[in-house]
Structure 1
């Protein structure tokens, strides 16, 4: 018989790194901070002891799973060395293909490292989730007997920038991996980060009325949440936003751009494509250095360089690596010894110039907004802030703010997701990535598109008017039903009307025929026998975790609803010259 105790497992599949952590219910009840991180990963040669693994996966030619993380990178490197990689699938840095796009479909595919082959995103994520799930279950079963599927509650984190469709792909990937829907929670990274920060002693001791900002910077995204304490350790959400202008990947890109200046762009491109295991090894060493280097250091930075990188550079330029460096702009400031690169400290610090400038500028602009002007405390979480140089720059540029950087800054999301699984907040919020509305018809006006014109009862009308229900950037509570809007039929004796739901990347779109608008779905609403042009049609919208529910009905009648996730593949079925009999106008 299975144990009734619940084990909450959080999986954080990041752009560049993946983590998972868990805690048992009785441990959470006695000490919420008692969270176990998986720190044991296979790397193809030995065991890799670290709380995260690279987000990369290798699939066999038949598209079945082979390996994940460093083990996948190692195996793919071996295939490249033997020139046997063509039929295999190696994926890395693919998560951002799901970000903020109206064109996302359930069949969305992502390219492998070659860019020549692709597979459905859902299948790629399902392979990763299955691997992590099976590894987790195996670890638990070493110490606890007789656990079944209901013993676990799974929390998967997703970026705030993802819309309904992207979250649905992850949800379906999790179900494909064998996780039951009732045991699955999809949590925003910002939700998890805030949950983690709210347990910090520095936050718990804040005075009532204190406004504080949780700033989470991941690999390619920024999540901002502003909250206010109002007694008894409770918080009120004041502001929430997300963006893509900076992230940890900016630091990594700056580092590889620096290496390209030394070894050459072509050499670095071939190295990162064909020597994936060595490339990840290089990133690991860089991450160690960025956590240790301070502004008071003076000694050169000693970095381990993969021998294969030196070899590729020597083959490309026909000279020794030492002689090659003497002909670069870093002559006299960079030296080699065995497999080490000795870099003058000032040169190494330049790698962080752009990331620091971007972060400081972004935070400064936040404090200029009305929503953030009263913030007195800034909590910085995410791997981006594990760099001491970046920490010092934030403190220097914002001396009037209280800066809190938790010791486990890079693990805030995965640990917060575990806490979230044990105790989800009573009210959850989302910042909408698009404007939502429906297509209506009104009297034709000067400037309206001539293609939208239709004649009804000898009058000119304009079809395809975007009538806004909820705006882009608006913060909404999950499960909240928005104000009902009222419409009426365009024609005198309609048998039914069609409510067409659209999304737009514009704040105030005018027409549903705009290239910035996309048909999300439609509802056919049957009308009573006595319905006419003055019959009232009610339309309301409600947002859930992974879907939009739109309800429509004749006033005081049973509503018809649609659960919408992905945009329709085309808008072509909405012919502006036909079928206006089911159109509606604003009441």
Structure 2
């Protein structure tokens, strides 16, 4: 993709060089740090220089785009006209994930996140899977497996046709939904079951609600809408819980972006559940993330504040206290000192507000040994707001930093703080004796 885009750009813009391009790669906001780091590594292996690459969170990109666009709604409301201090929810409904963030408008048109990103795998592919399972139910599960393995192009073509119908389906009009079925699928049904698709349908109990005419499968609208049920219930339930949270009180609008947001069924489900909230869907909602990523690339500082999804910190040791520490964490060091190991030292707590580009909550760490030349600081993450030990369930090592320390003695210290710039994290270490600052990007472990 990178090579194709470069070739097309160079053919259309005379004198354009690879160094002239800054690349923005969009990722779901609900992804963890390791997944985002994996995408950066993949982009770098594709030939994109690290300093020419930014990662943008998809709902944030869409939000920026819609702030620049007058997303009109009946009555003339739009995201771009919301005043400072007003909140709105961004629902980025893609194929795989549903990504949700809540933004507040700041002075100068910038945005801040007021609740950590959330969501789940309830996107449009869930609806596709329900449809494919339904075809398996009508015919035979082995038919679907054989069709997918032996006729992949036709399988994808069937999904494409279903995608078009999926976005346009409107159950208020009743009637039938027509889906074109590849001839190879009909042949798979005949070869595997010994019956034609038409004959198989007559034994299903659906009667005239499902019919076959040539290569056209015709379904009642309510059968088509049943494929959406699980996805819609999960989305609406999650939104309801989210809007009850104190920090989300006063949300004035729900901005629907992403390809799945073009589905009338999804739009109607949200309008019915939240009649007092404005529902806004921009033109070409499926392109909002793409266009917003371009804006983000030019103005990454437009998002001024985020909310930490996780608790971040360092695995450290402290003097063992039998009244406070479990015996299993007691360890005798080579200098004879008895210490408690695997202690969580929290730098950022899940739910903390993070001002983009500013250092967070400095913590000081000391050498254990007199002649120690380096501090090795393992970095951990957890969803727990008050973790005790880095070996607890849910705690995960995501990387480490090694900081040189000058002189000798155990009274030397290094201040450690985290900088959440953009969508990635930098660890800044300050040696107190010399003032030397070391900045390191966390190489998140996969």
What TM-score bracket applies, with the shorter chain setting the length? 0.7 to 0.9
Equivalence for 2:73: none
Q: Using the alignment, how far apart are the partners of 1:212 and 1:436 within structure 2? A: 28
User: Residue 358 of structure 2 is aligned with which of 448, 457, 480?
Assistant: 480
The equivalent residue for 1:498 is 375
Root-mean-square deviation (CA, aligned residues, Å) is: 2.7
- Residue 412 of structure 1 deviates from its aligned partner by 1.0
Deviation at 1:344, TM superposition (A): 1.5
User: Are 2:98 and 2:120, in contact at CA under 8 Å, matched by a contact in 1?
Assistant: yes
Counterpart CA distance in 2 for 1:240 and 1:451 is 35
Name the CA shift for 1:179/1:329 in 2 (closer, same or farther; >3 Å).
same
Q: Is the 8 A contact 1:504 1:518 kept in 2?
A: yes
Match of 1:319 in 2: 195
Counting only pairs closer than 5 Å after superposition, residues 277-316 of structure 1 correspond to structure 2 as 277-316=153-192
CA distance in 2, matches of 1:424, 1:135: 25
Indicate conservation of the 8 Å contact 2:33/2:424, yes or no: yes
Mapped partners of 2:434, 2:11: distance in 1: 59
Which stretch has the larger CA shift, 389-398 or 241-250? 241-250
1:367 corresponds to 2:262: no
Displacement after TM superposition at 1:434 (Å): 4.0
Match of 2:75 in 1: none
Q: Which moved more, 1:273-282 or 1:471-480?
A: 471-480
- Tell me the equivalent position of 2:394: 516
Determine the C-alpha separation between the residues in 2 that align with 1:226 and 1:553. 38
Query: Post-superposition shift, 1:399?
Result: 0.8
1:253 matched to 2:129: yes
Q: C-alpha displacement at 1:502, in angstroms?
A: 2.6
Whole-angstrom CA distance in 2 between matches of 1:536 and 1:195: 42
The whole-number CA distance in structure 1 between the counterparts of 2:419 and 2:269 is 42
Kindly provide the CA deviation profile for residues 441-470 of structure 1, in whole angstroms up to 9, marking residues without a partner as x: 232335845442123687743211111111
1:526 to 396, 405, 410: 405
How far, CA to CA, are the matches of 2:19 and 2:436 in structure 1?
A: 37
1:502–1:512 CA contact under 8 A, matched in 2: no
Larger displacement relative to structure 2 (178-187 or 308-317): 178-187
1:396 to 272, 282, 287: 272
1: distance between equivalents of 2:149 and 2:232?
28
1:538 aligns with 2:415: yes
Match for residue 553 of structure 1?
431
Matched, 1:462 2:331: no
Structure 1 residues 232 and 560: alpha-carbon distance in aligned structure 2, compared to 1, 3 A threshold: closer
Structure 1 residues 197, 454: closer, same or farther in 2, change over 3 A? same
- 1:157 — aligned with what? 26
**Contact 1:434 1:503 survives alignment (8 Å):** no
Change beyond 3 A, Cα 1:518–1:377: closer
Establish whether residue 176 from structure 1 lines up as the match of residue 54 from structure 2: no
Give the distance between the partners of 1:499 and 1:141, measured in 2 at CA: 46
Work out the CA distance in 1 between the residues paired with 2:151 and 2:323: 62
2:330–2:341 contact (8 Å) kept in structure 1 = yes
TM-score by length of 2: 0.87
Q: Deviations over 1:56-98 (max 9, x none)?
A: xxxxxxxxxxxxxxxxxxxxxxxxxxxxxxxxxxxxxxxxxxx
When residues 448 and 256 of structure 1 are mapped into structure 2, their CA distance, relative to the original with a 3 A threshold, is: farther
8 A Cα contact 1:240 1:475, kept in partner? no
Partner of 1:452: 329
2: distance between equivalents of 1:358 and 1:561?
Answer: 41
The offset of 1:383, in angstroms, is 1.5
Deviation of the 1:490 alpha carbon: 4.4
Contact 2:413/2:432 (<8 A) preserved:
yes
Alignment of 1:210-289 (within 5 A): 210-229=86-105, 233-289=109-165
Assess if the C-alpha contact under 8 Å between 2:315 and 2:380 holds in 1: no
Q: Aligned in 2, Cα 1:133/1:455: closer, same or farther, shift over 3 Å? A: closer
* Bigger relative CO (Cα 8 Å, ≥ 6 apart): 2
1:563 is matched with 441
Query: What is aligned with 2:315?
Result: 439
Structure 2: distance between partners of 1:465 and 1:505: 13
Please give the alpha-carbon distance, in whole angstroms, between the structure 2 residues aligned to 1:460 and 1:173: 44
| Alignment counterpart, residue 167 of structure 1, candidates 26, 36, 50 | 36
Question: CA distance change for structure 1 residues 220 and 237 in 2, over 3 Å: closer, same or farther?
Answer: same
Measured after TM superposition, the shift of residue 472 of structure 1 is 3.6
- Determine if the alignment matches structure 1 residue 185 to structure 2 residue 63: no
Give 1:235 shift.
Answer: 4.0
2:257 aligned residue: 381
Deviation (angstroms), 1:243: 2.7
Q: Which stretch of the first structure deviates more once superposed, 286-295 or 495-504?
A: 495-504
SS, match of residue 115 in structure 2:
strand
Quote the offset at 1:527 in angstroms: 4.1
Unaligned 5+ residue runs, structure 1? 1-131, 570-587
CA distance in 2: counterparts of 1:235 and 1:426, whole angstroms: 6
Secondary structure, counterpart of 1:354 in structure 2: helix
CA distance in 2, matches of 1:257, 1:418: 38
> Do the aligned partners of 1:213 and 1:227 also contact (CA within 8 Å) in 2?
yes
